[in-house]
Amino acid sequence: MKTEFRVPALVPACTSGGLADHAIEAAAKNPHGVSLSIHRGGAWVGVSSQQFLDEVRAVAKGLIGAGVQTGQRVGVMSRTRYEWTLVDFAIWYAGCVSVPIYETSSAEQVEWILSDSDAVALFAESDKNKSVFDQVSSHVPGVTRCWVFDADGIAQVKSLGTNISDEQLEQARASVNPETLATIIYTSGTTGRPKGCMLTHRAFMFEVDNVVQVMPEVFLSPGASTLLFLPIAHVFGRLIQLGCIRAGVRLGHSSDVKTLLTDLQGFQPTFILAVPRVFEKVFNSAQQKATADGKGKIFDRAAAVSIAYSKSLDGTGPGIGLKIKHALFDKLVYSKLRAAMGGRVEWAVSGGAPLGERLGHFFRGIGMTILEGYGLTETSAAHTANRPRSIRVGTVGQPIPGAAVRVAADGELMLFGPHLLTGYWNNPTATAEAIDSDGWFHSGDIGEIDDDGYVRITGRKKELLVTAAGKNVAPAVLEDRIRGNWLVSQCIVVGDAKPYIAALVTIDPDAFPAWVKAAGKPAGSTVDSLKNDSDLRAVIQGAIDEANKAVSHAEAVKKFAIVGVDWTEEGGQMTPSLKLKRNVVMAEFAADVDALYS
């Protein structure tokens, strides 16, 4: 094992310009090429690079006409849609700083982000978002302008810029240099108030240029396209948005999970990005449907063959017998899964949480290779990533070009590179705690580096459990495996200062009705009414047993309880990026945890 590994940059850090230049360069290179696609009237309508740039410039003029000064902050509160990308680039073109806000944010969260960032304007998606802002507008008097996408807000902004000259616009853009602040992204806040990560144009440009160049098969292949459905307010979605404009990848947006499958089939992306929970849901839903149709054994066998096929690619390759089985299941199962995602997807980028080897091998085996990576808001998204030509399933890959990783004495991963944050907005104390004097960032994650530089994340430093016997346990290893069961939605492993490890488990509300029917339980049964049912507990015990195979006896889950309600973002137990708010769950379900040890 190594204690430090770094990869030389493929593209040096820029010395001039800013992110708006990427839109300018794209239009100059291929003005008539389709840069983005917008879903209108049941069809995907193309927007050329030149059309996009013209619209960016018009909105940027409107911002200047509205009195927004260079360097001032502008909030964006919206789901993933074309207008989000448009105003992001317009804000940068006008020399301003964008401040993303999740559209699901509460009034208190909106007030905190707008007041802490000293924002002067806000783009909101809908009247619903506007009403949330209206609740706190008197507490953020500096935000004197609010435009609503659904209420013709883009046209309103454009109208304010009709008297702004090209010279004035270019003067605003010229105020930006690589060290200029590009965005303040507030962390999801699994604990405490969110901190504003300051990311410069240099950080994002370095990240984007090097990620694009190290993954040409993904970003630079002819006809490359992606449908973005993760929140652009999340740094992961932001990176892909920027990478697409930079590389000339056709970019579409999908804002409603209910229409996602239809959108994928109509758009037909060549790659997608998602958090592991999305891949878990795809696998579990397919398994559940097959079981309901009486084809569960066929699916299970197909999954086993897919995983074996993928694992063989890391060795001498599949034998003739495995090839025959794989070809058979490709016709029966794999091709249908690919078709459900549009039929052209070759690559998927995963981040935000550990994926797990089982899912990684399964998807590679069906012909959709997942490139798992690792990063944080503080690293402009990716810091490590598997590449199409260098994959090690179960790891988060090697550092991206120009980045370095170090393992501290206590196992914490330290990160370094030009793409790191410059600090936390208005919070020098937090900045000093996170970044040492040599520029290394304390990630808070525990991990290791193998001899070839591949990084494996084993847990969060603050989440490590220490049992009463003094055994250190990383809950993520167990939780990831438990969630792999098709009936499980979420879980939390507990046991800090306790005699043994235990877990609370929630049931997937989409999968539960099918289980109720298959198990012969009374129609209309709820999870709460069946949480102590022996048959339901037997299924979850199977998930626990599978998870326990990954750890020692001292680390294994000895007892569990099923919770009657699911944990969701709306309920306040999950972040918008689908991470569990452990402190919230532990507080709300303290009695359930105590019962595990009574």
At 338-359, the pLDDT tens digits run: 999 999 999 999 988 788 899 9
Q: CA-CA distance, 179 to 18, in Å (whole number)?
A: 9
3-class SS of residue 500: coil
Stretch(es) of the chain classified as CATH 3.40.50.12780: 44-176+222-269, 275-461
Partners of 541 in the beta sheet?
Answer: none
pLDDT at residue 463, as a whole number: 84
Residue 188: the pLDDT is 64
Residues of the chain with CATH 3.30.300.30: 464-595
pLDDT confidence band for 202 (50 / 70 / 90) = very high
496 by Cβ neighbours in 10 Å (0-12 / 13-18 / 19+) ranks as middle
Of the candidates 10, 97, 74, 49, the residue with the CA atom closest to the CA atom of residue 387: 10
How high is the pLDDT of residue 106? 87
pLDDT digits (tens, 9 = 90+) for 233-292: 999 999 999 999 999 999 999 998 889 989 999 999 999 999 888 898 889 889 988 988
Please determine, for residue 393, whether its predicted confidence score (pLDDT) is greater than 90: yes
pLDDT given at position 192:
62
How far is the C-alpha of 413 from the C-alpha of 406, rounded, in Å?
6
**What is the C-alpha to C-alpha distance for residues 69 and 559, in angstroms, rounded to an integer?**
58
Q: Which CATH architecture has domain 275-461?
A: 3-Layer(aba) Sandwich (3.40)
pLDDT, mean over the chain: 95
Model confidence at 187: pLDDT above 60: yes
CATH code linked to domain 44-176+222-269 = 3.40.50.12780
The two structure tokens encoding residue 349 = 């980028």
Confidence of residue 490 (pLDDT cuts 50, 70, 90): very high
| Helix, strand, coil tally for the chain in percent (to 5) | 40, 20, 35
User: How is residue 356 written in tokens?
Assistant: 């797990």
Lowest mean pLDDT among 65-79, 187-201, 380-394, 474-488: 187-201
Cα angle 576, 579, 583; round to 5 = 110
One-letter amino acid at 235 equals V
Query: What pLDDT does 476 receive?
Result: 86
CATH of the structural domain 464-595, one choice from 3.40.50.10470, 3.40.50.1820, 3.30.70.2860, 3.30.300.30: 3.30.300.30
Distance CA 250, CA 579 (A): 29
Size of the chain, expressed as the number of residues it contains: 598
Can you give the pLDDT at residue 412? Answer: 95
Strand extents, DSSP E, 255-400: 271-274, 347-350, 369-376, 381-385, 398-399
* Closest C-alpha among 501, 496, 500, 507 to residue 566: 507
- What pLDDT shows up at residue 425? 97
Least confident residue range of 187-191, 382-386, 433-437 = 187-191
- pLDDT-derived band at 189, boundaries 50, 70, 90: low
Whether the CB-CB separation of 80 and 253 falls below 8 Å is answered with yes
Q: CB of 74 within 8 A of CB of 99?
A: yes
